[in-house]
Structure 1
């Protein structure tokens, strides 16, 4: 009934659009966003970090950012149409910090590229920033007591209940 075919199978029937969808979240293929690594001179403590956060939050087009305080770096994800000079001018506007872009050379070594100091890049500002919740943990009503889940005593009486309890407590849901 079944016969083997001597004809070679086609290499790939994957269309370019299917390939693009598979890599949608990867930074290199996402055309709407790009990642910029900045080395920030003057990023020494948490107060300066707060100044830098405020400056970056005001720029329209900044998607996210993270800090590496040990090496004085900030990794910023921005829209592809936002110029990196806008980030540098916003950080320079704090008057206590200065940014340089970190790029990889041909051999893979990192190089710092300074931004022109006389560049006047117009930065589109976010006007209505939302009020964020405070980062302090909410105070507990009674710090001397531990909180536990309330359940019936019969819940763990059977082996199935005991297994369910073990699984629910062992895995992060």
Structure 2
């Protein structure tokens, strides 16, 4: 067993990337709302993770480390590109895969929810995705986003309130 001061090998980071890749892509898509941009974000995240594999601390959660890297890459890209939302987006229904007997109904409902979530401000969208899709705790979301836990709680509360208002107003129809 390693001591706490040891660093991860490149092979460990490669393995972590391989098992986390679909989740990274989903997070990249939630942030960017564009398939091509999500691909670029994941590629840059992989490159940065491999270049900095020595910064990963064995015994900690590699998915959290990778989400943090992706978030950092996203913020750098936003600053660099001055993102224009709404260009080249993909409809939520085309990005969802739902199985089961009630596939059509579930797909429509999921599409409606994804559209509503997609309309949230970026900070709320990221918090909603990490907490409710990825299942991270508030503390973990705060670490990934680099904000206090209270900020995460505020963003999630505001997002829930906006979603509830829109659902009750029939915006999901």
TM score, norm. by length of structure 1: 0.24
Q: Name the structure with the higher helix share.
A: 2
Q: Name the structure with the higher strand share.
A: 1
The structure whose Rg is larger is 1
